Structure 1
Amino acid sequence: MDMDLAKLDKEIVNNEAYDHLAERWYEAQDDPIALLRNQHKVEMPWILEEIRRNIGYHAEILDMGCGAGFLANDLALAGHSVQGIDLSTSSLKVAQNRDVTHTVHYQQGDVYSVPFEKESFDVVCAMDLLEHVSDPRRVIAEATRVLRPGGLFFFNTFAKNPLAWLVVIKGMEWFVKNTPKDYHVYSLFIDPEQIREWADDSGLEVTQIRGIRPVFAQKAMLELIRTGVVPKDFRFKFTKLPLIAYTGYAKKMREH
């Protein structure tokens, strides 16, 4: 990692928690990453449908903080043209190896200054990213810069309230094996209205925000609490209120 990226890494909270995973990104059940995989299964069909409705069946997409490529690879599989950037070279290697289309372009990159020209993409995604950076407003502004007019910015992060703290931080610490220290930091959780404000400042208009949370009344939840291992059939659901985690998208309406 060069000096500039090493400096940036200090602004990405607990990036090393993902860096060590290697193939466990896709295989581990005894790690919080299993929850992320299962949440992705719920979000992915919705993301694809919103892209289809607003952009079409073929969009040029940037996945910021792409990790091991859960989102980028599925987007490519659906026929989109995808670029993925992340700080972790080990995660990028896994992402590339798991790209069955062999079409996604992965590179190490800075989410504060992405290596693309203005208005390069129809869609920019920042899923499970904003709560890991010290300056999410700057990330949103950079996403807006590389979006074309009418383009979509997708995001997912955690609400800032006691329930989110209890479920996301304490729940993982108590019940999920191999949860790293400070895996999530409460001070970096974001109120949905703050996202709306930052988006508006950048020339985006938030079109939709929907909550997403685990299904509490499921057998898999009891199994997780008993064993510390995430069952493969552990389920998430969308909710009307963004009380724990939430996902949404904004549309680029104007130049900032």
Structure 2
Amino acid sequence: MDMDLAKLDREIINNEAYDLLAEKWYEAQDDPIALLRNQHKLEMPWILEEIRRNIGFRAEILDIGCGAGFLSNDLALAGHKVTGIDLSTSSLKVAESRDRTHSVKYIQGDAYHVPFPSRSFDVVASMDMLEHVSDPQQVIAEASRVLRPGGLFFFNTFNKNPLAWLVVIKGMEWFVKNTPPQYHVYSLFLEPNKLRLWMEDFGLETVAVRGIRPVFVQKPMLELIRTGIVPKNFQFTFTKSTMIAYTGFAKKMREH
């Protein structure tokens, strides 16, 4: 199940799959991106509430690996000042076209070398992104660098164990149409404890971690298995178990 990480050499993994999506980011149901859209619907209210509780109603936010702007555009709609960076120019064009506030600043940028000065943002998000990079520690280091003291770092990624491999990798390959080869790479999955220790290395203290997974007993799941198409009402849920995937946030307590 593992790949040789030395061969990955600080790459962004499978970026080309996202680069080719274009408007499918928001419209396709016969593609794994539909699952990401539905997962985002669950996460978004929680993210907004934690930002409000810890920062306020108007935060300066950086979305690293913003893709087509699911998170960035919703944050802007809620009144925040948002910047999104991504390597994919086609995804950024879609993100900009879907920004109803016309306020998000979209920039082509490298997650390993974020093009902003230190202490520039109140919040940094790296959602569904750490499992696509061969050097997540460098992404975390950059997130911490550009965060102000007391700022928040939001993340979402996959745990590393046989269950996560079965559900995330094989489940998509077996049941979701148009899943690209090696859409996810098992060797890049991250145990929560390892991620927590890395964040501590860069001055980030974990505040909350929540498990997240599909609702297994739901009619849309049966429809997905039968047709390979993700129903629009397919649901995800938060859970105490982080065995499959997890989301959370940390607070910047010190410089590293």
SS at match of 1:169: helix
Which residue of the partner structure matches residue 30 of structure 1?
30
Which residue of the partner structure matches residue 98 of structure 2?
98
**Residues 89-128 of structure 1, C-alpha deviations (whole Å, 9 max, x = no match):** 0000000000000000001000011110100000000001
What is the distance in 2 between the residues matched to 1:107 and 1:18?
16
Which residue of the partner structure matches residue 147 of structure 1?
147
Verify the 8 A CA contact 1:147 1:252 in the aligned structure 2.
yes
SS at match of 1:99: coil
Which residue of the partner structure matches residue 178 of structure 1?
178
TM-score (norm 2): 0.96
Specify the code of the residue in structure 2 equivalent to 1:62: L
What is the distance in 2 between the residues matched to 1:88 and 1:74?
20
Which residue of the partner structure matches residue 15 of structure 1?
15
- Residue 44 in structure 1 maps to residue 44 in structure 2: yes
Q: How does 1:1-256 map to 2 (within 5 A)?
A: 11-256=11-256
Verify the 8 A CA contact 2:73 2:95 in the aligned structure 1.
yes
What is the distance in 2 between the residues matched to 1:217 and 1:88?
36
TM-score (norm 1): 0.96
**Residues 24-79 of structure 1, C-alpha deviations (whole Å, 9 max, x = no match):** 00000000000000000000000000000000000000000000000000000000
Verify the 8 A CA contact 1:210 1:240 in the aligned structure 2.
yes
* Identity within the alignment, %: 78
Q: What's the C-alpha RMSD, in Å, of the aligned pairs? A: 1.1
Q: Which runs of 4+ in 1 moved over 2 A?
A: none
What is the distance in 2 between the residues matched to 1:17 and 1:181?
9
Instruction: For residue 10 of structure 1, report the CA deviation from its aligned partner.
Output: 7.0
Structure 2 residue runs of 5 or longer lacking an equivalent are: 1-7
Structure 1 residue runs of 5 or longer lacking an equivalent are: 1-7
What is the distance in 1 between the residues matched to 2:84 and 2:31?
23
SS at match of 2:66: coil
SS at match of 1:141: helix
Instruction: For residue 241 of structure 1, report the CA deviation from its aligned partner.
Output: 1.3
SS at match of 2:91: helix
What is the distance in 1 between the residues matched to 2:10 and 2:151?
30
What is the distance in 2 between the residues matched to 1:205 and 1:17?
33
**Residues 198-245 of structure 1, C-alpha deviations (whole Å, 9 max, x = no match):** 000000000010000000000000000000000000000000111101
Which residue of the partner structure matches residue 3 of structure 1?
none
Verify the 8 A CA contact 2:118 2:145 in the aligned structure 1.
yes
What is the distance in 1 between the residues matched to 2:31 and 2:81?
31
Instruction: For residue 9 of structure 1, report the CA deviation from its aligned partner.
Output: 10
Specify the code of the residue in structure 1 equivalent to 2:117: E
SS at match of 1:221: helix
Task: Provide the aligned length of Structure 1 versus Structure 2.
Answer: 249
Verify the 8 A CA contact 1:9 1:15 in the aligned structure 2.
no
